[in-house]
Amino acid sequence: MIRIIAALAIVISIMGCGADDQSPPIIFSINATLMIVSPGEPSTITVEAGDPNKKKLSYLWTASDGQVSGKGKTVTWISPKVEGKYEITVTVSNGSDSVSESISLRAWTPRPGDYYPLEIGDKWTFLDKENNQIDFEVIDTIDISGTKAFVKKLITSNFEGAVNYFYLAKGNDVINQYATGGSSAGDDTIIFSPVLPLYKFPLIPGESWEIESDIKTPDGYYVGSGKAKYDVISEENLTVKAGTYEHVFQVKEDFIWDIFGQELDHTISKQWLAPNVGIVKFINEQTRSGETFITEAELQSYSLK
């Protein structure tokens, strides 16, 4: 709305001062009915534009892939069969001058498991900066409030006996964390209510979400509250020890655990997720009792069931 008002102000200003016949058109906005569509499905795109000299406008639409059908200010883009991010560009001309603007749309079939596989027997091996081995393995399932949660076990070789457990479940468009246990929870199990939505699909750079949860032990004893903020930072190609991956999304989690206003733990974690693999790199910065520990590791190998 601010952009439209500003653009209108420019038009009024130009008209009031006597418009130059060579002034280009002005694009006020470009919008799509759907920013995310399944491969091969349509989205309707509309551009709003004007000309300082009230000249008749023509519209030329192009796309980095897919098919554009229709003419004028409103067209339909049919996405390609291949998932990805695509640019649709409109060029608005008054016959002598023109201006262009693009919009980014995504072809995506929601499949959370593709970016975060969860099956018993799935295993990932990481190496940190000091070549210490870190193993993640899905070892079991457990029923939590009628939901089948997968138990993901973490073993860190440089800390003898340091074992953590994460209780995770897949929704239609989300990976939720119900609880955690082991070293990260003070050798106990803590349950989040409501659950933590670790990843919301599709992952789109610039999007974010937040959650506040009570933290309790399995017997219902309150041990604090958690405040988590998640940001999708980027989409990129990434090379790690296990290989090179395309369409890797970086997601940042900022989690604070406090009780009665006193901070017990502050963890900032960045994970890079690759399709059909899961996490391929992570950086974990945890501050507890005034001490900060940083772990950065890359995927060395993995096996999925």
Last residue of a domain, one of 61, 77, 107: 107
The reply to whether 73 and 206 lie within a common domain is: no
Q: Are residues 122 and 192 in the same domain?
A: yes
Residue 116 and residue 146 share a domain: yes
Residue with tokens 């008209």: 15
Half-sphere exposure of 74 (CA within 13 A, CB side): 4
Q: Are residues 78 and 195 in the same domain?
A: no
| Cα separation, 199 vs 173, whole angstroms | 8
> Which has the higher per-residue pLDDT, 37 or 3?
37
Predicted local distance difference test score (pLDDT) of residue 82: 86
Cα torsion at 112, 113, 116, 117 (round to 10°)?
170
Boundary residue ending a domain (83, 107, 131): 107
- Residue 105: CB partners within 8 Å, gap ≥ 6? 32, 34, 35, 36, 37, 43, 77, 79, 85, 86, 88
Distance CA 163, CA 67 (A): 51
* E strand segments, 122-173: 123-128, 133-144, 147-156, 163-170
pLDDT score of 205: 86
Cβ partners under 8 Å of residue 26, min gap 6? 7, 10, 11, 49, 50, 51, 52, 99
pLDDT at residue 18 greater than cutoff 80: no
**CA-wise closest residue to 124 among 285, 271, 287:** 271
Same domain, 90 and 155: no
Q: Which of 7-11, 40-44, 112-116 has the highest mean pLDDT?
A: 40-44
Give strand pairing partners of 305.
Answer: none
pLDDT interval class at 298 (50, 70, 90): very high
Please state the rounded mean pLDDT for residues 145-168. 84
Is the pLDDT at 7 greater than 70, yes or no? no
Verify that 134 and 52 share a domain, yes or no: no
Please list, in sequence order, all residues whose beta carbon lies within 8 angstroms of the beta carbon of residue 140, skipping any fewer than 6 positions away: 120, 150, 151
The answer to whether residues 275 and 179 belong to one domain is yes
Query: Does residue 47 or residue 147 have the better pLDDT?
Result: 47
What is the identity of the amino acid at 48?
E
185 pLDDT band (50/70/90 cuts)? Answer: low
Tokens of 207: 């999007």
Domain boundary among 53, 85, 107: 107
Q: How many domains is the chain partitioned into structurally?
A: 2
pLDDT at 186: 58
Do 97 and 229 fall within a single domain? no
CATH of the domain at 166: 2.40.360
pLDDT in tens, 72-98: 999 999 999 988 889 999 999 999 999
| 43-57, 184-198, 279-293, range with the lowest pLDDT | 184-198
Q: Are residues 121 and 98 in the same domain?
A: no
Q: CB–CB of 77/42 below 8 Å?
A: yes
Structural domain that includes position 34: 2-107
| pLDDT tens-digit map of 221-275 | 999 999 999 999 998 999 999 999 988 999 999 999 999 889 999 999 999 999 9
| Residue 175 and residue 240 share a domain | yes
Per-residue pLDDT of 208-234, as tens digits, reads 999 999 999 988 899 999 999 999 999
Check if the beta carbon of residue 272 is closer than 8 Å to that of residue 250. Answer: yes
The one-character DSSP state at 185 is G
Asked if residue 6 has pLDDT above 70, the reply is no
- Burial class from Cβ neighbours inside 10 Å (0-12, 13-18, 19+) for residue 180 reads buried
What does the pLDDT look like over 157-168, one tens digit per residue?
Answer: 665 567 899 999
Looking at the structure, tell me whether residues 131 and 117 fall in a common domain: yes
Dump pLDDT digits (tens) for 97-125: 999 999 999 998 877 778 999 999 999 99
Q: What is the pLDDT of residue 161?
A: 60
Same-domain check for residues 130 and 256: yes
Q: Are 157 and 133 in contact (CB under 8 A)?
A: yes
Stretch 144-162: mean pLDDT: 81
Q: Can you count the helices (H) and strands (E) in the chain?
A: 2, 20
Over the chain, what is the mean pLDDT?
Answer: 89
**pLDDT digits 0-9 by tens, 193-214:** 999 999 999 888 888 999 999 9
